[in-house]
Structure 1
């Protein structure tokens, strides 16, 4: 049985051990949820009778506003729940001790053995139903006024003693420091993944941050671009144009990333993606991603057509070859991207879709290395700007050419 902190002389010893562990023993642990789980286990071992604890972070993420880490005594892992942007306007958040702490309260404490009070938080009824007797929430202060929330609850009849509460509060500054370091490490990775992609972010975090650093890789390259976007952007309200672009990029990018590709760059209404050839299925994955993206675009265009909005035309150029993958730019502003003739060829093929009236074009070099060459058909050889010889160009089998570019949205919307 764990010793009780109520025994004389035990409090300073246990506090020192846990503080030493927080400051020195967590150096090799990257994740705040694991440290929080271990901290709660150590508190139990030190005699603090907690059975439930939460850590609620507000984070900077393109999808999530925040996350809650829930620890329960006896569970092997902490439970992590994320919250979408807008959650702080929800009734569930507004009716919570977390909202009160975010609003500036230094503490929210409730003895759950007392009768319910009028207007008390609905969480307290839930905790009573679980057999808990005492609950406390405190702010977890990070730098520059960033405030998060930590809570503890117990099921012992007398609730948390004054010594228990003082012990927990004494650990908060050290845990705040340790958790902030992990949160900012995760933030750095999240921001890099958001703006340059997961593979490029790994390269940058591994030290590829000097101008000219990089390496040559073999990759399948995809360039996609919208048609007539300038006209749309001039006629539509600004917010509608942004919504349209986001819908288009969702339709195209989600299949690319799902199939192992990496989006390296958005340029206006265009995008550049690569599928490194270190995977034998890279070319097939790219074609599958294009097929799924086109289906998503078909659904999007059908919705636009029903609602009297402009349907979206697009072109896709695909090539394969060696590219330089790394940092280019000025001394103080770098871009992690791919460059080389193979990228230029993919861009020229995308531009050629306007002339040959095919939405997807790929090079013979790509068709030769793909595992399913029967899926492609040659449509002839064409001169590409910047390339000396004509290039044989392929389309997808069963992908009909259209006699007028104006037919393309109707075909896409009607399929």
Structure 2
């Protein structure tokens, strides 16, 4: 994690208070849904230009293929979005930014203004129609080989600045082990039907 991501270069937002919260309090949130919501609120409080934050991961279990929680400004948290077996064959997944991350292990970014390319995944067209201007999906590899992701969407004119992207990359790196621990417990309960 580069030290430059921790410093507000002027006019931006500060990542350091968010990381401090993550290491002191956020890591104790046992439910990844609660972690998603609390993290989004901390980021917005710090000044991050977010309209949407999604944390997701491949579960690769016998009953669950994937899990996600989505925070959208002004709406209740979309909790425990699960994908059952066969996720790789669903139109919602095929060609999506999350498929890109799962397949390549690399970030996906698409500016949604002034226009989304016609061939882009339908999700990106929907977000642009709702006023989103930039989409960034970052990989968060887990120790066991599974892949998780942090997706940040903004509606700020001009999209994310390079400074925003650097901070979000540093956040994804710090968040990965915290989400891995919370998700392992949560998914074990979901898989077991408890």
Matches within 5 A, 1:315-326: none
Unaligned runs of 5+ in 2: 1-7
The aligned residue for residue 29 of structure 2 is 29
| Residue of structure 2 equivalent to 1:69 | 69
Q: Contact between 2:139 and 2:172, CA under 8 Å: does it hold in 1?
A: no
Label 1:182 to 1:114 Cα distance change in 2 as closer, same or farther (>3 A).
same
Q: Which residue of 2 aligns with 1:135?
A: 135
Q: Is 2:36–2:53's contact at 8 Å kept on the other side of the alignment?
A: no
The separation in 2 between residues aligned to 1:7 and 1:103, in whole angstroms, is 36
What number of residue pairs does the alignment pair up? 187
CA contact (8 A) 1:53 1:71 kept: yes
- Report the equivalent of 1:162: 162
The residue that corresponds to 2:115 in the other structure is 115
Hey, what's the Cα distance between the residues in 2 that align with 1:27 and 1:68? 18
What is the TM-score with the length of structure 1 in the denominator? Answer: 0.42
Residue 88 of structure 2: SS of its match in structure 1?
helix
**Does residue 54 of structure 1 match 2:54?**
yes
1:7 to 7, 10, 13: 10
Q: Deviations over 1:147-205 (max 9, x none)?
A: 122211111111111111111111112211100011122344456x36xxx5xxxxxxx
1:89/1:16 CA distance change after superposition, 3 Å? same
Distance change in 2, residues 1:26/1:116 (3 Å): closer
Shift of 1:108: 1.1
SS in 1 for 2:156: coil
Aligned partners of 2:138 and 2:149 also within 8 Å: yes
- The SS at the match of 2:158 is coil
Look up the SS of the partner of 2:144 in the other structure: helix
Structure 2 equivalent of residue 92 of structure 1: 92
Q: Is the 8 A contact 1:54 1:150 kept in 2?
A: yes
Distance 2:58 2:120 in 1: 24
CA contact (8 A) 1:109 1:135 kept: yes
* Equivalent residue, structure 1, for 2:124: 124
- Pair 1:178-2:147 in alignment: no
Q: 1:131 to 1:118 in 2, by over 3 A?
A: closer
CA deviation after TM superposition for structure 1 residue 64, in Å: 2.0
Q: How does 1:131-280 map to 2 (within 5 A)?
A: 131-190=131-190, 193=192, 198=194
Q: CA RMSD in A?
A: 2.1
Deviations 1:363-396 (A, max 9, x none): xxxxxxxxxxxxxxxxxxxxxxxxxxxxxxxxxx
- Considering Cα pairs closer than 8 Å and 6+ residues apart, tell me whether 1 or 2 has the greater RCO: 2
| TM-score, with length taken from structure 2 | 0.86
CA-CA distance at 1:6 after TM superposition: 5.9
Deviation at 1:72, TM superposition (A): 0.4
Equivalent-residue separation in structure 2 for 1:129 and 1:27 (angstroms): 35
CA deviations on 1:227-271 (whole Å, 9 max, x unpaired) are xxxxxxxxxxxxxxxxxxxxxxxxxxxxxxxxxxxxxxxxxxxxx
- Once the two structures are TM-superposed, the CA of residue 136 in structure 1 deviates from its matched residue by 0.8
Q: Tell me the distance in 2 between the aligned counterparts of 1:34 and 1:142.
A: 20
* Alpha-carbon distance in 2 for matches of 1:145, 1:61: 13
Q: Which whole-Å CA distance do the structure 2 matches of 1:46 and 1:179 have between them?
A: 20
Q: How far, CA to CA, are the matches of 1:117 and 1:21 in structure 2?
A: 38
